């Protein structure tokens, strides 16, 4: 999927590669190992990519699953295509329009509350960025979810320590420790390696279910390509032909 994202990057002037690479294992684990899909149950689980700038991770995953076609992927950000920089509701497999940061968790709480009222047994999964956790709206709904008795929310924070062009730990050091803050708001919390699928899976499967869960996943922005890792410029940029070939060669070696 990283190679596929790089391929698409050669068709447009710029692409959010690094944000997608940091959350790719998170997205893949949720879709492939944790979510119940419509072919398995009459009430399938829901996925919301709150960090909408990581959309290529979701698009690549949906293509792998056959939900999006290869032809549609190649029309990314092209006239007549349906795929934009951020996910839009109405695209196959997309449950919410995201990218205005700080809204995805609130949408998830609304969905979970509706499910509870209708007696539906399904889980709402949300993937968030660490930068968007600085939005006040996030903490408002984090207070609200346990108060409403919502237990069917699993949020995973892509903790890559970057917010656009700077390190979160340097710009906003009081943001840490995240796990302690989450628990203080009445949630279950777990810290994992965000590039280790087994750790992500185990953290979700071992939850008590007595409260909503937030998994704080430590990741590397631009994971998988050495010259992109933790380099701010790759937040939104497409590699030139030489950089593209180098990135492919590094991924083929892994």
Per-residue confidence band for 166, with pLDDT thresholds at 50, 70 and 90: confident
Q: Name which of 129, 104, 135 is nearest 235 in CA terms.
A: 129
Q: What does the alpha-carbon distance between residue 138 and residue 179 come to, in Å, rounded to a whole number?
A: 15
Domains of the chain with CATH codes: 2-253 (3.40.50.970)
Residue 89 in tokens:
């509701």
- Asked whether the predicted pLDDT for residue 254 surpasses 90, the reply is no
Give the per-residue pLDDT at 123.
Answer: 97
Distance CA 92, CA 5 (A): 18
Residues present in the chain in total: 254
- In the chain, the percentage of residues whose pLDDT exceeds 90 is 93
pLDDT above 70 for 145: yes
Distance CA 213, CA 126 (A): 10
The predicted model scores a pTM of 0.96
Whether the ω angle into residue 10 lies within 30 degrees of 0, i.e. cis, is no
């Amino acid at each position: 999927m990283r190679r596929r994202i790089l391929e698409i990057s050669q068709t447009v002037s710029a692409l959010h590669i690094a944000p997608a690479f940091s959350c790719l294992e998170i997205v893949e684990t949720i879709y492939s190992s944790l979510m119940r899909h419509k072919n398995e149950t009459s009430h399938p689980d829901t996925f919301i990519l709150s960090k909408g700038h990581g959309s290529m991770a979701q698009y690549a995953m949906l293509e792998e699953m056959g939900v999006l076609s290869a032809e549609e992927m190649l029309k990314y950000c092209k006239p007549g295509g349906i795929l934009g920089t951020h996910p839009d509701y109405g695209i196959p497999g997309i449950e919410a329009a995201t990218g205005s940061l700080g809204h995805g968790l609130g949408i998830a709480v609304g969905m979970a509350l509706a499910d509870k009222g209708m007696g539906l047994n399904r889980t709402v999964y949300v993937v968030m960025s660490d930068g968007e956790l600085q939005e006040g709206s996030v903490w408002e709904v984090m207070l609200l979810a346990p108060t409403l008795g919502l237990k069917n929310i699993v949020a995973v924070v892509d903790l890559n320590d970057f917010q656009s062009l700077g390190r979160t730990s340097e710009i906003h050091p009081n943001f840490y420790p995240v796990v302690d803050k989450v628990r203080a708001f009445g949630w279950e919390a777990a810290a994992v390696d965000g590039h280790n699928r087994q750790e992500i899976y185990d953290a979700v499967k071992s939850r008590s279910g007595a409260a909503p869960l937030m998994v704080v996943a430590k990741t590397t922005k631009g994971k998988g390509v050495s010259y992109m890792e933790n380099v701010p410029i790759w937040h939104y940029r497409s590699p030139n032909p030489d950089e593209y070939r180098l990135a492919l060669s590094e991924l083929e070696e892994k």
